[in-house]
Structures are given as structure tokens and as C-alpha cells.
Chains A and B, each alone.
Chain A
Amino acid sequence: AQSVAQPEDQVNVAEGNPLTVKCTYSVSGNPYLFWYVQYPNRGLQFLLKYITGDNLVKGSYGFEAEFNKSQTSFHLKKPSALVSDSALYFCAVRNPGGYQKVTFGIGTKLQVIP
């Protein structure tokens, strides 16, 4: 069984400061890892993914994430937070292969304070 943990319900950061949203995972084999963002009453938007290769993955809107196999983590980061980054962020994992089931974390609310 695969699972995703997002240990923080909410992360508050001042505008301009770096932000980190944490994610750890559990999956058999090599994981495919994803980050999505959700704005109120909207669907999820894809930010970035790790499939293989470089552990540091760059994605949309200046976000990046670092895959750490030994710590089974995939933390989302951004060097300088914007107020418009305030949203709900989901980490997700699935196994490689065909149309596999995606397991989402519970989500972390990011609040960027002006």
C-alpha cells in the first residue's frame, strides 16, 4: 500500500521569505511523486513531478521540490514566497506503470502574509 504524509496542516510564511511544505511517502518500488495546488473551490493544478533523474525538480510558478530517497521525502520549496501563493498544496504518489491509482496527502494550507 502506498501512502503520503503531510505533517503540517498549515504553513505561515512572510512574503519574500523562503517557504517549505513538507511531504513524506511510503510506496513499494520507485515512486512517482507529484505536487498539486488547489485554490478555493477549484480543481487541482499540477506544479511538478519527480519520475527519475535529478533529485531537484523545478516546476511551475517558481516552485521546486527535492526528492530524498533515504528520507523518503519530497518537500516543496520556493525561494521567495508571494501572497498569491496562498493556497492548499497536495503531495501525491503513485507507482510506475499504467494508469495507477494516485494517493494524495491530506494537504497543507499555505498562508503567505503580506
Chain B
Amino acid sequence: GAVVSQHPSRVICKSGTSVKIECRSLDFQATTMFWYRQFPKQSLMLMATSNEGSKATYEQGVEKDKFLINHASLTLSTLTVTSAHPEDSSFYICSAPAGQGASYEQYFGPGTRLTVT
């Protein structure tokens, strides 16, 4: 199956700093990628849809200036958490659709654990 990687897997940063998380599709091209946030014992919350060559589409309530998304190539999307605060601590997961036609599947990265101190 298709493989999606994320880097870093874990990051600890100080409050007020910015953190960049990379999401790569390793063996396929992804014009679209999705960024999710997962709180402990909760479901995945879609934050935004990353589109190659155009602006990301953010879900309601997600601050686009705080969570910057750049989809620079067909295999790479980045999420930058700007001026991070402890409440931004979470598990961030990206996914990319792969497959033919409407029955495509989502392939998920392994996630990035962000801790803001």
C-alpha cells in the first residue's frame, strides 16, 4: 500500500516558538493532503485540506494564521504551528488519498506528538 511519512515523530518546544511538521507521500503523488489533530481519548479533528499549488482550505474554528500549511510539491505538505502555546500540545496526523476513482483510500502518517512547554 501507499506510504505516508511524518517528521518529526516527537517535538518539544517552548511557548512562543514555531514548529514545522512535514508530511510526505513516499511512493505516490498527492495533490491533496489532510491535516488532523487528535486530543487524548478523542477522535481525529480535521484541521485543513492542503492543496498542491494553491491555498489550504481550513475547517471552521481553525486559525489559518496560527496553523500555516504549505503544499509545495506533489509529495510534501508542511504544517507550521506558529507562536505555539501549551494548548497546542496534541497529536498531529496527516493523510493523503491514493487510489483510483472515487473509491480511493486515505493513507495516514504515523503522527507527530507536539508538546509545548
Chain A interface extent, by class: 20 to 34
**How many pairs of residues, A versus B, come closer than 8 Å at their CB atoms?**
54
Q: Is the interface of B mostly helix, strand, loop or mixed?
A: strand
Q: With a CB–CB cut-off of 8 A, which chain A residues contact B4?
A: 43
Give complex CA distance A104, B4 in Å: 19
Task: Tell me which of B44, B102, B105 contacts A90 (CB under 8 A).
Answer: B44
Per-residue B-contact encoding for A17-57, CB less than 8 Å = 1, 0 else:
00000000000000010101000011111100101000000
Given A90-B44, A106-B42: A43 and B113 interface contact (C-beta under 8 Å): no
For the complex, give the distance between the alpha carbons of A99 and B32 in Å: 8
| Residues of the B chain whose Cβ atoms lie less than 8 Å from the Cβ of A43 | 4, 6, 93, 95, 108-111
Q: Give B43-75 as 1s and 0s: 1 = Cβ < 8 Å from A's Cβ atoms.
A: 110100100000000000000000000000000
Interface: A97 (CB within 8 A):
yes
A contacts, CB < 8 Å to B: 32, 34, 36, 41-46, 49, 51, 90, 96-99, 101-102, 104-107
